[in-house]
Structure 1
């Protein structure tokens, strides 16, 4: 092959590559989205998704351009898709409508049965759930972004604010990584969990800042192999495993690793909560390298979580192999550690190693402990009376 022929061939391949790359990007504006913050762009988003999901090749990208605000109603982005990886690039703002137009749904944006999904943004990417239109209403509030029945998912580098209820819910999914997220809602906004995980496996939440009116991260029934690493939490209700066993249900979580978390001005810190009368188990849960700053209740096990509408049953969710290592900082109140376990002997193998939690106001701290079985090692303050 001559030099001129080879050069032309390479140029042609490069030109084709540019066309293929361009063809793999589906801009919502090309499908009719206005991005003026008032026009309903739901259909344009659905049409762009249909095109992107059906595109063949290694990847396809749905682009939400910067410097625009797109009003989008409740939308389910369904798979499976033709490409190995589908990318949703959120550079602008996606805004929810007021409460009433979508009150019949239990989600705002849902990705369903998508394998190989990336939702990412940048400094400008934002989901605005307009939760203020919901929080004072007695009607059921809804999750903002739901990942359901998906696998091989990454959510990264975007912000979510003011969700009606949970900001991000991961359900019945596997191999999900949430990283470099900023999630915010007022401290008094009801049920606005930052990230909720249930019935999912191999989920990681890393390098994110979360401040809401409920749990920064809640790890619900059926979750296994969940890692929380490098989180700044506050305001909020901490990182919670549970609640489990409501209305006597049999539920479980296991292999939960929470580490390198800063709790700042939160109601709770490292918390495990189960409903009174529940069944099942929560086991192999660790909290490591945790720092508390002015936290109301830094370390909590509560097996007496109740609802006045429930009739408590006998028994409790069995807790075992719970490990706390290198916890330090300050508490707003005197009680720094609360292990409230059932008389049924369902709190076993509780291991506490190296804890130093002092009072933010300068006084001493204490631990309240009942029916917990386990041991301590290293320097532990306050002393936990029911552990060896």
Structure 2
């Protein structure tokens, strides 16, 4: 102990000493007061942890403490093979958008290029998004200087072999958690909350990501609970509660003619409550590429407006002309064990493209009934949707049997893909 004290007394660096592999942000100048900026203290602690020689070092945000942190990036790579970021207290964002004037407006807390990262704890990440919501172009299009882009609360950029668990995320300015360019990522046991009328406050968004597992998570926001973007594959979404919000969406995809590659998506054991959509795939009419090998299974709906929907005309303007060669191919999509109530009359809606039909769609064991306030019999709508129906009790299936031409086109697409 004496030797350790003498060493610490002789250290001239600005960083505090630690007798273990835990590095408390309080020891690096963080202030337990949401009116004082603790950003530099968090960066100081991160620098020590990222360059630590100890095994499994942990940056600690202590319990019962609240810290104001301005836009910040925790950058790797780091020396340790595994690194921890433990949140037991509260991290609070600046309340005013002006805090981002010299920063990237798309992010608040970002991790970039960190491998073996584990962000976990029982604490809270509070985005304080009210200032951004009040100037959102989505809800205030006539406002001078309204904003279309607002910060994601926690963004992971090129972070592989990473985990996020236990955190309570609230009131992000826009999306709460975003993964971009990540491989092998596990999200577990999150609670994500924002008012249902807030603009673009998705729960979790995936982009250019693969080998991602999302489990045991509850999400209620003003947009998609989970959205799956372009160039994603091998995604498992299991045991999730969604509502309020816009459901779990693959898309939107293909905007501006972008080429889409989305495959091997499993969404299983999900409870939707009061959402505007349930299991949704949405693509822009001018897009290209494919969405294939998708499974939605064991899904329960409580008063959901569009329980099952494919929309290949997302964002289209009525009367607009799209080239026949454009469109995203959607194939090998299974909907199995769907139960509950629909808040809209059309409970199964397959609005597929004439030039890029939906092929190999399977409806298996579906039983949906009108929500208590919906005094209408449920129906199905299928346009250019081909596949098979097994045990579809209610509403009746509208799928068409796969035509010979659709089979040929689908085979050519598989060969090219």
State whether TM-score is above 0.5: yes
Corresponding position: 1:171 with 2:168: no
Q: Deviations over 1:190-216 (max 9, x none)?
A: 000000001011001100100000000
Calculate the aligned-residue CA RMSD, in Å: 1.7
Report which stretch shifted further, 107-116 or 300-309: 300-309
Cα displacement (A) at 1:57: 3.0
Residue aligned with 1:151, SS: coil
Q: What does residue 130 of structure 1 align with?
A: 128
Greater fraction strand: 1
Q: What does residue 336 of structure 2 align with?
A: 325
Change (3 A) 1:46 1:292: same
> What are structure 1's unaligned runs of at least 5 residues?
1-19
Q: What does residue 286 of structure 2 align with?
A: 277
Q: What does residue 339 of structure 1 align with?
A: 350
Q: What does residue 114 of structure 1 align with?
A: 114
Match for residue 143 of structure 1 among 132, 152, 162 = 152
Q: What does residue 233 of structure 1 align with?
A: 242
Cα displacement (A) at 1:145: 0.3
Distance, in Å, in 2 between the alignment partners of 1:254 and 1:262 is 23
Distance, in Å, in 2 between the alignment partners of 1:273 and 1:312 is 19
Instruction: Output aligned runs, 1:1-388, within 5 Å.
Output: 22-97=19-94, 98-103=96-101, 104-105=103-104, 106-122=106-122, 125-137=123-135, 138-139=146-147, 140-306=149-315, 313-314=322-323, 315-361=326-372, 363-388=376-401
Q: What does residue 143 of structure 2 align with?
A: none
Residue aligned with 2:161, SS: strand
Residue aligned with 1:267, SS: coil
> What are structure 2's unaligned runs of at least 5 residues?
1-16, 136-145, 402-417
Change (3 A) 1:312 1:214: farther
Cα displacement (A) at 1:363: 3.9
Contact 1:277-1:312 within 8 A present in 2 as well: no
Cα displacement (A) at 1:42: 0.3
Distance, in Å, in 2 between the alignment partners of 1:237 and 1:295 is 10
Contact 2:285-2:316 within 8 A present in 1 as well: no
Residue aligned with 1:52, SS: helix
Q: Deviations over 1:245-279 (max 9, x none)?
A: 00111112100000000000000000000001110
Distance, in Å, in 1 between the alignment partners of 2:344 and 2:383 is 19
Change (3 A) 1:285 1:236: same
Report which stretch shifted further, 300-309 or 248-257: 300-309
Cα displacement (A) at 1:21: 8.7
Contact 2:231-2:261 within 8 A present in 1 as well: yes
Contact 2:21-2:55 within 8 A present in 1 as well: no
Residue aligned with 2:83, SS: strand
Number of matched pairs = 367
